[in-house]
Structures are given as C-alpha cells and as structure tokens.
Amino acid sequence: MHKDEEIIICRCEDITLDEIRRAIRQGYTDFEELKRYLRVGMGPCQGRTCTSLIRWELARFLGKSVAEIQPPTKRPPAVNVLIGVIHSGREKP
C-alpha cells in the first residue's frame, strides 16, 4: 500500500496526493485555487493527466459528484501562427 506522499497525481509538476489533500484541508477547495497554489494542471500536458484525478479528490472531500466540480479554465493560444511564418523569421505573414 502506497502512502499519500508517494502517490504522484500531477506528474508534470511533481505534486503528490498528500500535497493536494493538505491544500484542500487548508481551504483550496476549487480547481482554480489548487492550480494557482500548487501549479497542478499547468505542466506540459496542461492537465490532461491530472485534472480528472484532482476533480475526484475534490468531489470526495466536498461530498459532491465529480460533475459538480468545475474543471480548470482552458486558455487556447492567443493567436494562430503559421509554421511558414516561424520558419521565415518574419513577424507577420
């Protein structure tokens, strides 16, 4: 049986289940708060791996269903950039 401090939930930011549970007990009870406090969901995968696990943990702690836990805000790139523009080194097409 693994201890909470041995279970990595957010692999990108190296955040354990124990750290998430402690943060929730301290009052960080929505995903956006956890994201700002622990950086969960902000790694290279942008939360693809850890978001559902953290939403389950929040739901369990709050006695809610996972569907009631708001997922984190997704922010797409501000402007599309054509590969040709990057390759040419120009600033605008």
CB of 89 to ligand FES, least distance (A): 31
CB of 77 to ligand FES, least distance (A): 17
Decide: is 23 part of the binding site for ligand FES (CB under 6 A): no
Contact letters for ligand FES, residues 24-53 (x by CB under 6 A): ----------------xxxx-x-x-xx---
Per-residue DSSP letters for 30-91?
SHHHHHHHH-TT-STTTTTTTHHHHHHHHHHHHT--GGGSPPPPP---SS---HHHHHHT-S
Contact letters for ligand FES, residues 50-89 (x by CB under 6 A): x---------------------------------------
* Cα gap 63→28, rounded to integer Å: 15
CB atoms within 10 A of CB 77: 6
DSSP 8-state symbol, 26: T
Instruction: Give the footprint of ligand FES on this chain (CB under 6 A).
Output: 10-13, 40-43, 45, 47, 49-50
